[in-house]
Amino acid sequence: MGFLESFGARSATRIAEEDTSVRVISAADADRRLQVLDDYERTGISWIWATDAEDRLIYFSPSASDHLDGGLDQLLDNPLSDLFEIDPDNSDRTDRPLQFQLKTRNKMAELPVRLTRDRIQTPGMERWWSLSGHPKFTPEGKFAGYRGSAKDITVAYVRSREDSRLAEYDSLTGLANRHRMNRKLESTLAAYRSAKRSCALLMMDLDKFKQVNDTMGHPAGDDLLRQVADRLKAILGEKGEIGRLGGDEFQIFLPDMDDRGELGSLAEKVIQMVSSPYQLDGKRAIIGASVGISVAPYDGVEAEEIINAADLALYAAKNSGRGTYRFYSVDLKDVEQERQELLDDIREALASDQLELHYQPVVRTKDNMVVGFEALMRWEHPERGNVSPGVFIPAAEESDLINQLGHFALQRACEDALQWPENVRIAINVSAKQFANKAFPETVAQILEDTGIEPDRVELELTETVFMGDTDVTDETFKALKTLGVRLALDDFGTGYSSLSYLRSAPFDKIKVDKSFVDTCTQKNENSAKIITAIIGLSKALGMDTTVEGVEAFDQFDLVTEKGAEYIQGWIYSKARPQADILKYIANGGFKIEPSGPENFRPERRSVFRRVGVIHEDNRYDAVMRDLSKTGSRIEGLVGVPVGTGLVLDLGSGQLVVCRVRRSEDAVIGVEFEVPLVSDGAGGLVTRHRVSPYALAAAGMPLAALPTGHYPAAMLGESASPPQFLQVTIARN
């Protein structure tokens, strides 16, 4: 290499070295570093921010002003926690508020936050940013604020939330889906175990939904499900989370709920609201609902246990007549097998003539003359004993057996009525499934012809559920029955939605006021008396008769007659009697009944035979409960219990009732409950609250669902004092 070439190469190397030193920005070159930072901030890729020691925003990249209404002035010198909020629906993040996270002085890494609504650029649009930040401390260790970065993630985050929503929410109703509900229940139960908190689960199934789908089409069914979801949200509000599990199954999760009184009232409200008529494509549709309820930790401590318990309770509610609710109890296991055995027994009862009809008189109040009878089916099973119609009728309605039972009742009632005076009518209940059978008018016509009874003496009692079927078929059935000349009565009026369109479109001859209004008509702060007055006035205006059902005492009798009741059916005149008793009564020349009963109505007291525990101070006794009502019971088996003594009744399965002795004679005491019992939805009574499994666990028992039987004795420990009462053995007979 020549000199010039060598010089040129050395010069180029020197110049390159000099240019590198010029191009590279050193840590000490503050001006050029600031220029790079300004260039970066102008790209809008992300922004730089800083707060002071009071968490007030003191700096934010100027380019962010393009994303704000009013520029950076909307942000600067404001507390960071007032500017942004964490997404409460983001299950992957902590549920701690932003203010709490700032106070901990921890690092923040790409935390999605939402700008508060008054700082969003576009009205009606959510703006989401990602915040990252590190706390800054002085050499003395004093907090000096946060330094961090931010960027707009609105498009990606909204898309991510939508994807998450589609994965966790039902696309038809917008409610949570099965996956989300299961995850919510599992995580809540795990958290509640350590906090010793309770929660309730309601499973709801729609009754007659398939009928809507089949008769009105799937689009109408989808519309109905959306309306059901809207009603549930209106009822529950923020009390809990609602999910649609698929089809017509819904689930309601309620945190911190274990009061079975409140849960029963809520279930009744849900059933009532869901059963309200729907408008679907200009047509009217009516469905029903059944609800099963389980409560953690009483009915289980794991999610699977609580779900299975609620499912069993729902199944029991549907089998007991639908349109009702049931609480879970351990005796609900194997309900499918029990239902099948019951159906087999009903078939055998029809074949072997085990069924019979009893007749309850309908009496004219002005002269106490009997004007008719209602036929009520009774079944004395060889092994089961007396089986309630509330048990076997709903089971029959779930199968085709209801048509056979209905045919039997109509045929037998008309035959029996022929032996009565010709001016006395016979009323027969007709189920909605019977009424929906297109052959029903022909069946009625054939029985009228076979028996020879005058059609005007036959009164068919229908409920509002007959309007749940196809409107055209319903109208045709009404016309066919009126052509035959039979009378039609609307039963249980006022307990459903009692639309006046029923009375306008259907040719009813009579309205029957339901017993539930009569039961409470004499109580203060109840509107039942006003409702009875309104129904009687309405029926008179429409030229219809009115029968008031369920009158048992003279205070009720005096009130309803004062309100204008012309016909009464109730125990104050007579219970339902078999045909032999009716014929004997006629043979004695009487068809007039004088009212007879207690002066004042009191809630029904059930006759029972139930082994219970009686706890007094630190002693426990075994006794028998004979009668039970919401407010008290009769106990047998203890001698020497003074009036006024405070006791605790152990009804089993964690049910403890604080009570006081009001009557005491020999081995029988009458007690009044401190807190009334509540309905279990199936005619039984239960306590509002139960012994907490957490309390049992603290006493040495494992944390699990409440065991059966009576076990608080183990919690009493050794008796410190001798028994004060004498315990005697009570036999069933």
| pLDDT score recorded for residue 71 | 74
Enumerate the CATH 3.30.450.20 domain ranges in the chain, comma separated: 44-160
pLDDT at 327 over 80: yes
Mean pLDDT for the stretch of residues 643-650: 94
Over residues 593-598, the mean pLDDT reads 88
The residues of the chain that CATH labels 2.40.10.220 are 606-727
Whether the per-residue pLDDT at 384 is higher than 80: the answer is no
Q: What is the mean pLDDT of the chain?
A: 85
pLDDT of amino acid 417 = 95
Which residues make beta-bridge pairs with 113?
A: 86, 129
Least confident stretch, 123-132, 454-463, 668-677: 123-132
Bridge partner list, 206: 289
Task: Identify the three-state secondary structure at position 181.
Answer: helix
Max mean pLDDT range (209-218, 320-329, 624-633, 668-677): 668-677
Dihedral sign, Cα of residue 306, residue 308, residue 310, residue 312: negative
CATH tag, 169-333: 3.30.70.270
Q: What was the pLDDT predicted at 638?
A: 93
Cα distances (angstroms) measured from residue 601 to each of 5, 523, 670, 672: 126, 10, 19, 17
pLDDT at 659: 95
- The candidate with the shortest Cα–Cα distance to 259, out of 267, 250, 251, 269, is 267
- Band the pLDDT of 336: cuts 50, 70, 90: low
**pLDDT tier, 63 (very low <50, low <70, confident <90, very high otherwise):** confident
Collapsing DSSP states into helix, strand and coil, what is residue 186?
helix
Measured between alpha carbons, how far is 54 from 182 in angstroms, rounded to an integer?
Answer: 42
Summarize pLDDT for 411-447 with one digit per residue, the tens: 999 999 999 999 999 999 998 888 888 899 999 999 9
Residues found in the chain = 733
Nearest in space to 607 (alpha carbons), one of 629, 579, 637: 629
> How high is the pLDDT of residue 1?
47
What dotted CATH number matches 347-502+566-587? 3.20.20.450
Which pLDDT tens digit goes with each residue over 546-563? 999 989 989 999 999 999
Give the Å distances, CA to CA, from 190 to 162, 196, 238, 588: 28, 10, 21, 72
C-alpha 29: how far from chain center: 71
- What's the confidence (pLDDT) of residue 92? 46
Least confident of 50-54, 306-310, 403-407, 490-494: 490-494
Class at the top of the CATH hierarchy for domain 44-160: alpha beta
Q: CA 231, CA 287: separation in Å to the nearest integer?
A: 13
User: What is the band of 104 on the pLDDT scale with cuts at 50, 70, 90?
Assistant: confident
Q: Which of 67, 64, 51, 151 is nearest to 101 (CA)?
A: 51
What Cα–Cα distance (Å) separates residue 579 from each residue in 5, 89, 696? 135, 66, 55
Residues 6+ apart with CB under 8 A from 314: 203, 204, 205, 290, 291, 292, 326
**Helices of type H across 500-543:** 500-505, 515-520, 528-541
Please give the pLDDT value at position 91: 44
Closest CA to 710 of 632, 643, 613: 613
Q: Work out the average pLDDT over 98-115.
A: 83
pLDDT at 309: 93
| CATH class, 606-727 region | mainly beta
Q: Between 502 and 374, name the one with better pLDDT.
A: 374
- Residue intervals of the chain classified under CATH 3.30.70.270 are 169-333
SS3 content of the chain, % helix, strand, coil (to 5): 40, 30, 35
H or E stretch at 342: helix 335-352
Cα separation of 19 and 12, whole Å? 10
Encoded amino acid at 52, one letter:
D
Neighbouring CB atoms inside 10 A of 47's CB total 21
How high is the pLDDT of residue 230?
95
Q: Check: pTM over 0.75? Answer yes or no.
A: no
Given a cut of 50, is residue 2 above it in pLDDT?
no
Lowest mean pLDDT among 89-98, 277-286, 513-522, 680-689: 89-98
What's the mean pLDDT in 223-239?
Answer: 93
Q: Report the alpha-carbon distance of residue 582 to residue 662 in Å, rounded.
A: 40
Q: Please check whether residue 705 is in contact with residue 209, taking contact to mean a CB–CB distance below 8 angstroms.
A: no
User: Where are the CATH 3.20.20.450 domain residues in the chain?
Assistant: 347-502+566-587
Category of 525 on φ-ψ map: left (φ > 0), alpha (ψ -120 to 50) or beta: left
Instruction: Write the pLDDT tens digit of every residue in 681-731.
Output: 877 889 999 988 988 888 777 888 887 777 655 555 555 678 888 888 877
Q: What is the pLDDT of residues 204-214, one digit of tens each?
A: 999 888 888 88
